[in-house]
């Protein structure tokens, strides 16, 4: 089995401060990175900022700032957010870094060497907001203003000399690749969208701009800068020290296991990026998963629409782990979803405070009162104990398979079910009525503590801080968290002292007016 796991987020435009949509992509990527880490993989997790192109140049101009200074300031807000979100990323790349520039220029030269680049003239529509070219069929006219039908962003007419990439040449190879590698694009609906786009015919792609200078220069041609998407996509390999394909990072982690992206940037990742890689004879990533949008009302949350929600404010009000839990559980992965404070509060009260936090408190208090605050040593499991414990063992490989399919929805629902069962078990077994049958009482406490241990481990990728706090019951640290150990029913050391813990989640007083 491949024990190296490389996951990436899109690199974000530092044209404004990050919002909830960016936080969403990053938290989901962090979930997979953390899961794979506790399941024994070497994980490389990359995020960063996409700093070139007209969109950024204009944003800096609007603020009257030097472009690089502007990028420095805003890129820092994304790096800070990575810390605030408790991301476990192992690298943060900026496309203005030297390592990236070298990589992009090398890729360009590779494409040129293989005769995939030629010079011509581009005349057509361009959206600066999307940094994307659109054909006439993809444009609509709203009150005299032209915009993209898909993204609704304004477009402008572009007419200039440009280098082109022979995208059309790769049409058949791409279709064959999608067919031969059915897991390459998911979810299924997005895959079909890509296949029909490619089947509709690919035109060669303009990959340089002459009318502005904020970008990486085309090698041997000072008048052109490289198209920002060719520049940006290369980040996934420049962070692994491409062009040195013998470098240990590159050898270990390329091809990437997953590029996690939003559905807005599917075409760039599923068509252009694989075509560039095919042309440069570099292996293709294993999987591209495009998730849905965080909506504000009915619309995508985005800076240009002015409808953004600041993740930092929500975290200040409710805490980080509740937000992580909410985004993972309540926004069905792969679909669009919205954020509602009311549903967030419900998650905190019922799932986190009641079903999880309260279970930990109850069982630990009971063990302190009745088992001298120790893991009971005299135990004899009954069928009802083994049944609930064995469920984890039976399902462990299924859970791994679901994660490989990036089925977060299955994972979180699985935990919710186990929490429900655990609470029911403790209530139904009524250990408080077993004070005359110490063997039975001990066995119920042992089983309940063991379930708590297993659930805390499973919760770690979702709510890492709270999981670590709860695992202090057993004196465990982050480095002791190991997913395989949920198989084992006898992991708790007989007679070992357990620890009281502080309340994990405070209930929110709901105002029912």
Binding footprint of ligand MSP on the chain (CB under 6 A)? 10-13, 21-22, 24-25, 50, 232-233, 235, 261-262, 264-265, 293-294, 300-302
Of the two residues 64 and 297, which places its CB atom closer to ligand MSP in the complex?
A: 297
User: From CA 419, how far away is CA 423, in angstroms rounded?
Assistant: 6
Name which of 112 and 303 has its Cβ closer to ligand MSP: 303
Is 25 or 429 the residue whose CB approaches ligand MSP more closely? 25
Q: Which is nearer to ligand MSP, 274 or 431 (CB)?
A: 274
> From the CB of 185, what's the least distance to ligand MSP, in Å?
15
Give the nearest distance from C-beta 377 to ligand MSP in angstroms.
50
Query: Min. distance of Cβ 48 from ligand MSP in angstroms?
Result: 9
Closest distance to ligand MSP from the beta carbon of 44 (Å): 16
- Cβ-closest residue to ligand MSP? 21
Question: Nearer to ligand MSP by C-beta: 125 or 293?
Answer: 293
Of 263 and 453, CB closest to ligand MSP = 263
Q: CB-wise, 232 or 360, nearer to ligand MSP? A: 232
- What is the CB neighbour count within 10 angstroms for residue 140? 13
What's the 3-state SS for 17-73? CCCHHHHHHHHHHHHHHHHHHHCCCEEEEEEEECCCCHHHHHHHHHCCCCHHHHHHH
What is the chain's alpha carbon radius of gyration, rounded to the nearest angstrom? 26
Quick one: tokens of 193?
Answer: 């969208």
Residue 290 near residue 190 (C-beta atoms within 8 A) = yes
| Dihedral sign from CA coordinates of 489, 404, 20, 14 | positive
Smallest distance from ligand MSP to CB 295, Å: 7
Q: How far is the CB of 472 from ligand MSP (least distance, A)?
A: 34
CB-nearer residue toward ligand MSP: 340 or 365: 340
What is the CA angle 136-141-145, rounded to 5? 115
Structure tokens given for 119 = 């010079």
> At closest approach, how far in Å is the CB of 260 from ligand MSP?
7
Distance CA 399, CA 331 (A): 20
Nearest to 352 by CA among 308, 415, 428, 406: 415
Q: How far apart are CA 140 and CA 152, in angstroms?
A: 9
Compute CA 434 distance to the chain's CA centroid, rounded to the nearest angstrom. 46
Supply the minimum distance, in Å, between the C-beta of residue 229 and ligand MSP: 7
Question: What DSSP string runs through 340-375?
Answer: -HHHHHHIIIIIIIIIIIIHHHHHHHHHHHHSTTB-
* Helices H / strands E in the chain, number of each: 19, 18
When the beta carbons of 120 and 189 are compared against ligand MSP, the nearer one is 189
Q: How far is the CB of 111 from ligand MSP (least distance, A)?
A: 17
Give 25 or 442: the residue with its C-beta nearer to ligand MSP.
25
CB of 259 to ligand MSP, least distance (A): 8
> What are the structure tokens assigned to 445, written together?
């406490």
DSSP string for residues in 153-175 = -B-EEEEEEEEEE-GGGGHHHHH
Q: 21 vs 243, which CB is nearer to ligand MSP?
A: 21
> For residue 131, which of 227, 235, 11, 262 has the smallest C-alpha distance?
227
What is the dihedral angle through the alpha carbons of 255, 261, 265, 266, rounded to the nearest 10 degrees?
Answer: 60
List b or e across 277-311, with b for residues whose CB sees 16 or more CB atoms inside 10 angstroms.
bbbbebebbbbbbbbbbbbbeeebbbbbeeebbeb
Nearer to ligand MSP, 95 or 355 (CB): 95
Longest Cα separation, the chain: 89
**Shortest separation between residue 301's beta carbon and ligand MSP, angstroms:** 4
Closest separation in Å from C-beta 404 to ligand MSP: 21
Q: Please compute, for residue 271, the number of CA atoms within 13 A of its CA located in the half-sphere on the CB side.
A: 27
* CA–CA separation, 491 and 257 (whole Å): 32
């Amino acid at each position: 089995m491949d024990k190296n796991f490389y996951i990436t987020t899109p690199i974000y435009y530092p044209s404004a401060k990050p919002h909830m949509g960016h936080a969403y992509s990053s938290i989901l990527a962090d979930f997979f990175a953390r899961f794979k880490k506790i399941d024994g993989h070497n994980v490389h997790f990359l995020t960063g900022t996409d700093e070139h192109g007209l969109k950024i140049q204009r944003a800096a101009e609007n603020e009257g700032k030097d472009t690089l200074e502007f990028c420095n300031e805003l890129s820092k807000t994304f790096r800070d957010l990575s810390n605030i979100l408790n991301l476990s990323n192992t690298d943060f790349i900026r496309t203005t870094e030297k390592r990236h520039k070298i990589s992009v220029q090398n890729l360009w030269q590779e494409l040129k060497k293989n005769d995939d680049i030629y010079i011509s003239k581009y005349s057509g529509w361009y959206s600066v907001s999307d940094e994307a070219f659109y054909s006439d069929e993809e444009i609509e006219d709203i009150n005299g203003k032209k915009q993209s039908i898909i993204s609704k962003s304004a477009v402008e007419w572009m007419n200039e000399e440009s280098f082109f990439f022979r995208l059309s040449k790769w049409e058949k190879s791409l279709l064959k690749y999608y067919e031969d590698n059915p897991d390459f694009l998911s979810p299924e609906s997005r895959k079909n969208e890509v296949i029909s786009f490619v089947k509709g015919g690919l035109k060669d792609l303009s990959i340089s701009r002459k009318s502005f200078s904020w970008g990486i220069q085309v090698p041997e041609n000072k008048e052109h800068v490289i198209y920002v998407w060719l520049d940006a996509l290369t980040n996934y390999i420049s962070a692994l020290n491409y062009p040195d394909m013998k470098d240990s990072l590159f050898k270990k982690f390329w091809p990437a296991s997953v590029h996690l992206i939003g559905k807005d940037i599917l075409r760039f990742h599923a068509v252009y990026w694989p075509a560039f890689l095919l042309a440069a004879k570099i292996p293709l990533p294993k999987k591209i998963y495009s998730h849905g949008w965080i909506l504000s009302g009915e619309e995508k949350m985005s800076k240009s629409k002015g409808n953004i929600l600041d993740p930092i404010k929500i975290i200040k009000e409710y805490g980080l782990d509740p937000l992580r839990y909410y985004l993972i559980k309540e926004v069905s992965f792969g679909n669009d979803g919205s954020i509602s404070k009311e549903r967030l509060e419900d998650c905190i009260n019922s799932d986190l405070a009641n079903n999880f936090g309260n279970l930990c408190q109850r069982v630990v208090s009971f063990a302190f009162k009745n088992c001298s605050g120790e893991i009971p040593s005299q135990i004899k499991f009954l069928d009802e104990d083994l049944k609930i414990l064995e469920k984890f063992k039976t399902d462990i490989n299924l859970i791994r398979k679901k994660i490989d399919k990036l089925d977060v929805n299955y994972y979180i629902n699985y935990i919710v079910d186990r929490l429900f069962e655990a609470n029911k078990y403790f209530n139904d077994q009524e250990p408080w009525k077993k004070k005359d049958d110490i063997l039975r009482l001990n066995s119920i406490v042992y089983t309940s503590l063991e379930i708590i241990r297993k659930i805390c481990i499973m919760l770690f990728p979702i709510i890492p801080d709270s999981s670590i706090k709860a695992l202090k019951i057993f004196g465990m640290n982050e480095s002791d968290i190991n997913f395989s150990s949920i198989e084992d029913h006898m992991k708790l050391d007989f007679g070992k002292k357990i620890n009281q813990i502080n309340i994990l989640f405070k209930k929110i007083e709901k105002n029912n007016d």
